[in-house]
Structure 1
Amino acid sequence: MASRGQSRGRGDLEQQVFAALAAGGGPMTTSEVRDALGGQLAYTTVMTVLARMQAKGLATRTRAGRSYAYSAVVDAAEVTAHQIHRLLDSRGDRAAVLTRFAGGLSAEESALLLELLADSDSDSEAEAERP
């Protein structure tokens, strides 16, 4: 970890926080992450990094009393899916973005996407029919 007076490389702190979350074995509060990193960082610094990681889809958060507990998202596919959702949410015309995306898919990717959508529809219908 960089000491006072030394600057960190871009993303170093985020990587350290991610490593602490991944090694934590479960959801961790900001204080717990700060302690896992040696307690040298300001609470607000750790809180900001965690909030940014959550916004990027690298971490999830759940309520823990008046605060939040964070967990690392270790599945690369889940991170990518979250990033795609964030991009779609940030654009005004979702249909245009999805149309351009779908137009760039190969025949195999298109077939896979159609299959996944059909499976998703079946799962949704089955869930709606449960008592």
Structure 2
Amino acid sequence: MRGLGELEAAVMDVLWSAPGTRTVREVLTELSSSRKLAYTTVMTVLDNLHRKGRVTREMDQRAYRYAPATSREEAVARALRELIDSSGDPRSVLMHFVRSASPDESDTIREALDGVDHPSDER
């Protein structure tokens, strides 16, 4: 995901897939099946994600419990918005995207646009 390193993205995947909050140890356990990591590495990644506003944390006895600050869908939408804004030609990017959309995706886009109030719509 845009703005996240590989390990940060893996940690976010664990948090998005988990119901509720997770400790560093629980995140480490989830990640251990695919890679060998130190506890302090995961702790540092979670601390960095907290500093970036990507996760929230609350103290539970002597350990923090972490949760995503936004849903996966909101994070992807934000990343898409950043890409569109940085493209230099947002209209062209959106036109290419819409042309590549499947029929179901096109229906979803139409539904979303039908529910959007634009300032120019106000009379």
1:1-131 to 2 correspondences below 5 Å: 11-38=5-32, 40-75=36-71, 76=74, 108=119
The answer for unaligned runs of 5 or more in structure 1 is 1-9, 81-107, 109-131
Query: Alpha-carbon deviations, 1:37-72, whole Å to 9, x = none?
Result: 016210000000000001111100001110100001
- Look up the SS of the partner of 2:32 in the other structure: coil
CA distance in 1, matches of 2:15, 2:54: 10
State TM-score, norm by structure 2.
0.52
CA distance in 1, matches of 2:9, 2:67: 14
- Look up the SS of the partner of 2:57 in the other structure: strand
The answer for unaligned runs of 5 or more in structure 2 is 79-118
RMSD of aligned Cα (Å): 2.4
- Look up the SS of the partner of 1:37 in the other structure: helix
CA distance in 2, matches of 1:17, 1:63: 19
Identity %: 40
CA distance in 2, matches of 1:29, 1:64: 9
CA distance in 2, matches of 1:69, 1:29: 5
One-letter code of the match for 2:5? G
- Greater relative contact order: 1 or 2 (C-alpha under 8 angstroms, separation 6 or more)? 2
